[in-house]
Amino acid sequence: MIDPSRSPAQTPCPIRHRAISAPNRIAIHTASPLSYRQLDARLNSLCQQLEQAGVHRGDHLTAVVRGALEDVLLAWTCVRSGVVFCPLNPAFPLEKQRELALQLDADAFWSAGEIPAGNWQPLCLDFARELPASEEAWPLESTQLNNMILTSGSSGTPKAVVHRLCNHLASARGSATLIPLDEACGWLLSLPLFHVGGYAILFRVFLAGATLVLDQRERSLKERLECQPITHLSLVPTQLWRLLAEGFDPARTRLRELLLGGAAIPQPLVSRLCAMGLEPKVSYGLSEMGSQVCTAIPGDAGVVGKPLPGREVCIREQEICVRGATLFAGYYQDGELELPLDDEGWFHTRDKGRFTAVGELLVEGRLDNLFISGGENIQPETIEQRLVDHPAVAQALVVPVPSDEWGQRPAAFIDWHGEPVPDSELATWLRSTLPGFMVPDHWLPWPDLGGNLKPSRQLLGKVARQQTTRARQAE
């Protein structure tokens, strides 16, 4: 793995480095694989095309992307050109794309589909054109603003999280200390580029001179793992349950590293994988820290390990606070960067947690999610973690609903593996380890998420309130 210079000045482009030192090594595995030499040549051409289109260093390029080859090429072209990459979710309708592009002060806009009208340069790019390198090195400005990732805060209002290039480089370096990656490896781009977790994969792969395996959504994940050169994989538990239901067997794949995150990790899931010879890792991260903060082998519920190199973690009044080399440059708002840190330079995450006796971070949930029932504090994530440890439960989400007697009471949405078990069985399961006031009063069926893997707690809270109100009225 290349260790880019920690100097604030310049760092070599890892793709150009591999194009020179290992030109025939596969950089991107897709229908027609690209070598590092070919990838470099396409990036050269795209950099030239951006320049000819009047898109220059520091400009904001909004792009509707997920993880196709063109999306990856454009993302790294922006790295090379010093253009700020601003990815948007393709699920957004055209008017929403326009609204977000205005918020991001877009100077240019690219999409494989229709481009919304606005005061920006619509881009038409030739992604197949190649331009051989004319120089030996391509230095990158480490401190340049690199990208804006939209993330929803607790209010649901999108925030534009801005990172410098050095933040992503530091994130990739730290990740590699616990998740080894080399030129013989292939990491599946299973997360979208408009999510910091997907974007981070690019840096891990290219710094290591490894292969980026593009997602082929028309084929099942099980099939891809069995026939593609995938050694590293990032999933949320829902995706993994589905994979196991398809008959996934790690022995029939090249898989050696599996990184889980995004939700409570069910102990039955971990045990089943370990019995199959694949020990997963769990991760705690956030957009503001460029993805991973802590990573560990699963143990006790909520324990996510110690901070990776380049990250610092402390606890202030039960709140997890972070800082370090991966810390973002700020939120982009009204043309300015706002970096909300305390006097010691800590970013307050609004996540509740503590350290274990051996110094590992235990994440207990969002402070914003905590609610009071009859004078008792209830952290929904504590209930959820216990529920997903039940063999019949695939997913669980707990939200508060109004109660005349208690103020608020928990309601639980349950997604089953197969046949549901009686509510009373789940209640007994919870009472064996949790106080009675944390046992939900209402048990609700898992809603249709419309293809989304991560449910909106805010939206499901609204659904629960509607359903429980109707049930009370019907009594």
Q: For residue 398, what pLDDT is reported?
A: 95
C-alpha neighbours within 13 Å on the C-beta side of residue 29: 22
- Helices marked H in 67-188: 69-81, 94-103, 165-176
Along the 475 residues of the chain, how does pLDDT read in single tens digits? 333 334 457 899 999 999 999 999 999 999 899 999 999 999 999 999 999 999 999 999 999 999 999 999 999 999 999 999 999 999 899 999 999 999 999 999 999 999 999 999 999 999 999 999 877 889 999 999 999 999 864 445 689 999 999 999 999 999 999 999 999 999 999 989 999 999 999 999 999 999 999 988 788 899 999 999 999 999 888 788 888 888 999 999 999 999 987 767 778 888 888 899 999 999 999 999 999 999 998 877 789 999 999 999 999 999 999 999 999 999 999 999 999 999 999 999 999 999 999 999 999 988 989 999 988 889 999 999 899 989 899 889 999 999 888 999 999 999 998 889 999 999 999 999 999 999 999 999 998 876 666 788 888 999 999 888 877 767 6
26-29 sheet: strands from edge to edge = 34-35, 26-29, 211-213, 186-188, 232-235, 257-260, 281-286, 291-296
State the Cα–Cα distance between residues 159 and 108, nearest whole angstrom. Answer: 20
pLDDT of residue 6: 45
Pairing of strands 232-235, 257-260: parallel
Tens of pLDDT, residues 297-310: 887 778 999 999 99
Whole-model pTM over 0.85: yes
Residues 6+ apart with CB under 8 A from 21: none
C-beta of residue 148 within 8 angstroms of C-beta of residue 71: no
Strands, DSSP E only, in 103-221?
Answer: 108-110, 121-122, 139-141, 145-152, 158-164, 186-188, 211-213
**What's the rounded Cα separation, in Å, for the pair 408 and 374?**
8
pLDDT recorded at residue 5? 35
**Nearest CA-CA partner of 434 in 387, 398, 373:** 387
Residue 240: half-sphere exposure toward Cβ, Cα within 13 Å:
28
pLDDT of residue 194: 94
Q: In what order do the strands lie in the sheet with 361-366?
A: 303-305, 361-366, 347-355, 319-324, 311-316
User: Which of the 8 DSSP states describes residue 307?
Assistant: B
Taking the CA atoms of residue 421, residue 424, residue 426 and residue 431 in that order, the dihedral angle to the nearest 10 degrees is: -160
Q: How many residues would you count in the chain? A: 475
CB 296 within 8 A of CB 303: yes
What domains appear along the chain, each with residue ranges and CATH number? Answer: 10-362 (3.40.50.12780), 370-474 (3.30.300.30)
Amino acid, single-letter form, for residue 13: C
Q: Where are the alpha helices (DSSP H) in 109-208?
A: 165-176, 196-208
- Give the DSSP letter string of 362-414: EEEEEGGG-EEETTEEE-HHHHHHHHHTSTTEEEEEEEEEEETTTEEEEEEEE
Q: Which two tokens stand for residue 315?
A: 């606890």
Task: Please name every residue paired with 433 in a beta bridge, in sequence order, or none if there are none.
Answer: none
What's residue 452's pLDDT? 67
pLDDT reported for residue 98: 96
Q: Check residue 156 and give its pLDDT.
A: 54
- The span from the CA of 296 to the CA of 221, in Å, is 24
Q: What are the pLDDT digits (tens) for 131-176?
A: 998 778 899 999 999 999 998 644 456 899 999 999 999 999 999 9
